[in-house]
Amino acid sequence: MVSRGPQDAGAEGGKDGSSIEPLGGTLYLAPDGFDAELRAELGRGASPVAPDSRLFFAPGARRPSAWAADVWLDPVRIRFGSIADAAKALRSLGRNWSLSPTSHHRRAALISEQLPLADTRPLVFPTPASSTPRGSFTLLSANEILASSRCTSPFPNGEARFVEDHVRPPSRAYLKLWEAFTLVGHHPRPGARCVDLGSSPGGWTWVLERLGARVISVDKAPIAHALMKLTRVRYVKDSAFAIDPASVGRVDWMLSDVICYPSRSASLIQRWLTVHPHASFVVTIKLQGETDTSAVRALDHVPGARLVHLHHNRHELTWIRVAPEPA
């Protein structure tokens, strides 16, 4: 639960019948169904703000949180007397608000009607995500709000939505790659050389080719026939673990959605990183049974690397490394 301790003395009262107080910590929103993973990752002192809530409070500075769909920076508690008071307090903190899940649906909706809201329209890839600061709020009770005017995800509640293509992609896996590229603000440019490991049936290869990249698509199983015919795609019938990283020439992006244990994914990353240190990476880390990310966490030292749970991930994380720009 969020503490109601000595911080109450620091609350700022307003003539409008509301008060705003800093929480002295950080709020973390778990993806739907992954509350336990986030709580375990946050560690000591982390707890849900209310029973059955996906929003967790942890005191002190921001903690590493791959399992957080969104992180609320500098959150506050707002106590208010009326709907108008609540909306006025939120507007005083910032613009572009989004509502986080709450059990007080009707009251939250009435407050939202009086706020400038963040854009929730699906994004047309590869349009960049909005860079406008976005805030989130939720009702803790009928007269109490938790809010933050700064959140880490460009998407409301960390839920990346796109205008989908229901015809051309050979699988829905393409949405993961769209989200990864949008989240980091980088994607292969026309002419970039990409290796897609474990590519069948070709969802990621389809994304890369559509961006104008040249793709070496590697899998023992064939990719979609339509992709086989494209001049920028070269299909290699081989195992993702057998192909020699040195045999493919220059690599700008290495990508993998291979189903394997995290330790094998980590070894695969390290192997390709050793040969292609200037490449960018997007690698899905499949988690089977107990959630153990220790093998991938051993790669935290890699400059530019991040481990995230994408909205389109299931019980898996994604390791992303955007290579530094050449001097």
Contact 27, 57 (CB under 8 A): yes
Percent of the chain with pLDDT over 90: 85
Judged by average pLDDT, the poorest of 10-24, 62-76, 163-177, 202-216 is 10-24
232 and 269 inside one domain: yes
Q: What average pLDDT does range 56-75 have in this prediction?
A: 96
Q: Is residue 327 part of a domain?
A: no
238 and 128 inside one domain: no
Q: Is residue 165 part of a domain?
A: no
68 and 109 inside one domain: yes
* In the predicted structure, residue 1 carries a pLDDT above the cut 80: no
Q: What average pLDDT does range 7-13 have in this prediction?
A: 42
pLDDT, residue 18, reads 87
* In the predicted structure, residue 14 carries a pLDDT above the cut 70: no
* In the predicted structure, residue 307 carries a pLDDT above the cut 70: yes
Residue with tokens 């880490």: 152
- According to the 3-state scheme, what is the secondary structure of 75-100? CEEEEECCHHHHHHHHHHHCCCEEEC
Q: For the chain, how many structural domains are there in total?
A: 2
189 and 145 inside one domain: no
150 and 262 inside one domain: no
Last residue within a domain, chosen from 119, 154, 189: 154
pLDDT band at 292 (very low <50, low <70, confident <90, very high): confident
What's the sign of the alpha-carbon dihedral 310, 313, 319, 320? negative
pLDDT, residue 297, reads 84
Q: What CATH number does residue 316 fall under? A: 3.40.50.150
On whether the pTM is more than 0.85, the answer is yes
Task: Find the helix or strand (DSSP H, E) in which 177 lies.
Answer: helix 174-184
143 and 187 inside one domain: no
* In the predicted structure, residue 13 carries a pLDDT above the cut 50: no
Q: Is residue 198 part of a domain?
A: yes
Say how far apart CA 188 and CA 196 lie, in whole Å. Answer: 12
Average pLDDT, the chain: 92
* In the predicted structure, residue 251 carries a pLDDT above the cut 90: yes
pLDDT, residue 2, reads 58
281 and 207 inside one domain: yes
pLDDT band at 12 (very low <50, low <70, confident <90, very high): very low
58 and 141 inside one domain: yes
* In the predicted structure, residue 16 carries a pLDDT above the cut 70: no
List the domain range (segments joined by +) for residue 121.
6-154
Say how far apart CA 276 and CA 266 lie, in whole Å. Answer: 15
